[in-house]
């Protein structure tokens, strides 16, 4: 993936077990207003030539390659402190950094989808696309169908009235899924990035807009356009409430920045034969093998459960792998969000299987790595049973940031060893020719 990269707020890494490079920042880029253009006007990610950048109020902050001359106003960031805390200002005070308002939180979690597709005559749900269908759900001994209100102000899904005929939807193949169009209208079902689903003009098929790309799981209408959804999210219609609800596939950990928090603390408990349990300090459950991701497939989920034979592990330290005893499979980064079990790489782990058990504070951690001759870097992350939602940051008016109570402070400042060595090194006298000069 090429720059720009997103910037988010996440739980702060701690000194215990190391600090993530992704959370280390320092001032950078020259300041044209200073004598000899001395430092600094920007904020640079440590050990990586990436600087914070934003182009106007209301836009999310990203990183891009540092413009070290300091002439790019979009990269002007500074932490102004009055005591321990202060504003994080942009473009010499014309804006301030603040968390983005949280919207479109996907509901958690459904053990089964209640709203289902019922095909119309002449269609078969198990057959090839296209097909037509109603939406309905069972309420006691009754079937409640889904209807559509088409209005200038809003186009919405809702339960049908008793004497109202259910609307017909049409599924037409797009990419690896399908569009769901309301028959007789130019409107398609749109997941709204995980917010309240709505009816919106259908995108051209060649665009494959993820919010209008649906799948079917048995009789359910499922959206998979949000990272980390696993099996996807069901469309649910109940009265006037419309939502997408994440489907339960067992409690699976995600890979997140390592920190001493609930959900990451896995205590190694020896079993006596070179194997061990990885017991969650906070819940008492053990990390264990789950079910195959797909019937007949090799990929197997990692989940939590009783501390039994399914939860025994061994560390193949010379190969940088953590192996499940019951399956003989190793922990694998999978899609880089939810780890899986997969046949162990031989004779040593490739990047996705380079895991280690860190006794303090108690982590199962994927090691850092790189690909493409160093052009792609991968950072240490840990299994997290209770990952916090990522929060994007934006530039807005400073008065708005202050009114929201936003303040920033430096956490655990340090002087890198490289800087210490540079400061203590013998420097050439003034006027000495430069190397290569």
Q: What is the residue extent of each domain of the chain?
A: 5-100+393-417, 112-247, 254-384
pLDDT at residue 111 above 60?
Answer: no
- Taking 80 as the threshold, does the pLDDT of residue 229 lie above it? no
* 247 burial level (CB within 10 Å; 0-12, 13-18, 19+): buried
For the chain, what percentages of helix, strand and coil (3-state, to nearest 5) are there?
A: 10, 40, 50
Residue 375 has pLDDT above 90, yes or no: no
Share of the chain above pLDDT 90, in %: 54
In this prediction, residue 138 has a pLDDT band, given cuts at 50, 70 and 90, of confident
CA atoms within 13 A on the CB side of 377: 11
Mean pLDDT of 167-180: 92
pLDDT, position 371:
84
Q: What is the mean pLDDT of residues 79-100?
A: 88
Can you give the pLDDT at residue 249?
55
- Top CATH class of 5-100+393-417 equals mainly beta
Residue 328 Ramachandran class (φ > 0 left, ψ -120 to 50 alpha, else beta): left
Whether the per-residue pLDDT at 403 is higher than 80: the answer is yes
Q: Does this chain's domain 112-247 share its CATH topology with 254-384? A: yes
- pLDDT greater than 70 at residue 198: yes
Instruction: Categorize the per-residue pLDDT at 19 as very low, low, confident or very high, splitting at 50, 70 and 90.
Output: low
Give CA–CA dist 164/145, Å, rounded.
Answer: 9
- CATH class of the domain at 112-247: mainly beta
pLDDT digits (tens, 9 = 90+) for 302-324: 998 889 999 999 999 999 999 99
Helix/strand/coil for 172: strand
Q: Which residues 6+ apart lie within 8 Å of 335 measured at CB?
A: none
Task: Indicate the pLDDT class of residue 72, thresholds 50, 70 and 90.
Answer: very high
Asked whether the predicted pLDDT for residue 104 surpasses 60, the reply is: no
437 pLDDT more than 60: no
Distance of CA 177 to the CA centre of its chain: 22
CB 362 within 8 A of CB 266: yes
- Taking only Cα atoms into account, the Rg of the chain, rounded to an integer number of angstroms, comes to 27
Judged by DSSP in three states, 42 sits in strand
Please say whether the structural domain 254-384 has been given the CATH code 2.80.10.50.
Answer: yes
pLDDT at 372: 84
Q: Strand 363-366's sheet: what is its strand order?
A: 254-256, 381-384, 363-366, 355-358
Residue 250's pLDDT is 60
Which range, 136-140, 249-253, 273-277, is most confident? 273-277
* Residue 124 pLDDT exceeds 90: no
In angstroms, how far is the first alpha carbon of the chain from the final one?
Answer: 38
């Amino acid at each position: 993936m090429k720059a720009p990269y997103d910037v988010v707020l996440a739980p702060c890494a701690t000194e215990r077990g190391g600090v993530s490079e992704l959370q280390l920042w320092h001032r950078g880029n020259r300041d044209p207003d200073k004598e000899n253009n001395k430092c600094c006007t920007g904020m640079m990610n440590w050990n990586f030539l990436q600087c914070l950048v934003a182009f106007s109020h209301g836009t999310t902050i990203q990183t891009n390659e540092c413009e070290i001359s300091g002439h790019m106003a979009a990269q002007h960031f500074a932490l102004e402190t009055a005591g321990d805390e202060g504003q994080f200002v942009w473009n010499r005070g014309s804006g301030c950094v603040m968390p983005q308002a949280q919207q479109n939180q996907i509901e958690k979690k459904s053990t089964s989808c209640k709203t289902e597709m019922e095909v119309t005559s002449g269609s078969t749900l198990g057959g090839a696309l296209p097909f037509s269908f109603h939406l309905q759900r069972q309420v006691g001994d009754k079937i409640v169908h889904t209807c559509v209100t088409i209005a200038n102000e809003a186009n919405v899904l809702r339960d049908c009235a008793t004497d109202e005929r259910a609307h017909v939807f049409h599924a037409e193949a797009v990419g690896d899924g399908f569009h769901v169009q309301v028959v007789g209208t130019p409107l398609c079902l749109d997941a709204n990035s995980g917010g309240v689903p709505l009816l919106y003009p259908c995108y051209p098929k060649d665009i494959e807009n993820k919010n209008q790309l649906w799948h079917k799981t048995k009789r359910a209408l499922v959206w998979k356009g949000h990272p980390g959804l696993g099996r996807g999210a069901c469309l649910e219609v109940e009265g006037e409430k419309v939502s997408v609800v994440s489907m339960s596939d067992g409690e699976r950990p995600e890979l997140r920045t390592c920190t001493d928090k609930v959900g990451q603390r896995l205590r190694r408990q020896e079993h006596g034969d070179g194997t061990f349990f990885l017991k969650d300090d906070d819940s008492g459950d053990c990390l264990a093998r789950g079910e195959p991701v797909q019937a007949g497939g090799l990929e197997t989920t990692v989940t939590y459960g009783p501390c039994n034979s399914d939860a025994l592990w061994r560390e193949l330290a010379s190969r940088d792998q953590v192996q499940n005893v019951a399956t003989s499979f190793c922990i694998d980064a999978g899609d880089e969000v939810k780890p899986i079990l997969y046949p162990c790489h031989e004779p040593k782990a490739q990047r996705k299987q380079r895991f280690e058990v860190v006794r303090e504070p108690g982590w199962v951690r994927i090691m850092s790595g790189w690909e493409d001759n160093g052009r792609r870097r991968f950072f240490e992350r840990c299994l997290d049973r209770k990952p916090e939602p990522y929060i994007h940051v934006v530039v807005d008016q400073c008065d708005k940031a202050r009114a929201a109570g936003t303040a920033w402070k430096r956490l655990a400042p340090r002087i890198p060893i490289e800087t210490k060595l540079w400061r203590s090194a013998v420097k050439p006298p003034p006027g000495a020719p430069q190397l290569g000069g």
